[in-house]
Amino acid sequence: MKVAIFASGTGSNFENIADDQTLKDRGLKIEILVCDRPKAAVIEKAKRRGIPTFIVQPKDFENRNYYEQAIIKELANYQIDFILLAGYMRVITTTLLDEYPMKIINIHPALLPLFPGIHGIEDAYNAGVTETGVTIHYIDEGVDTGPIIAQQKVPVLAHETLKQLEVKIHHIEHQLYPSVILNLLNK
């Protein structure tokens, strides 16, 4: 399976997927990293692994449609089967969704439908919930509203700091996302 990973930040989930030997052995090939931030740390991680990077910034385009058309054109060069979002901080629109229907998945650091959006961990923590978690879901036109593929709960302990909760969430992300990808490879 030829995949593109979209990321905007540090790239811990990108790195985790790229280094997973079981995924490689089962045929996962990361063809390209798509990044919307030219100074994102994930770019260096892709470079060290010999994975090409396509840096494309929305501000360089008249609208989101043209932005996503540029991405589609680049992905066509790699014959991409699937798109994995790993900390990509942009809403995907119908332009990309129509090109890759039910072929774009995302990881979210909360138990959707609770706490959608970019601050899932912090929002759950500030809400005082006793459990939160990680969700892997297909992308649709909404913000974190697509069909859920898998979820894993994470307890929020009474005296836990936000930073401690973030570490637990990221640990679960790094287990759950490769597991879900492996299931997709087996289909």
> Which positions are catalytic?
108
Residues 19 and 135: their CA atoms lie apart, in Å, by 21
How long, in residues, is the chain?
187
Nearest-10 crossing angle of helices 162-185, 120-127 = 130
Q: Which 8-state DSSP code applies to residue 184?
A: H
Q: For the chain, how are helix, strand and coil distributed in percent, rounded to 5? A: 40, 20, 40
**Residue closest to 175 by CA, chosen among 142, 140, 136:** 136
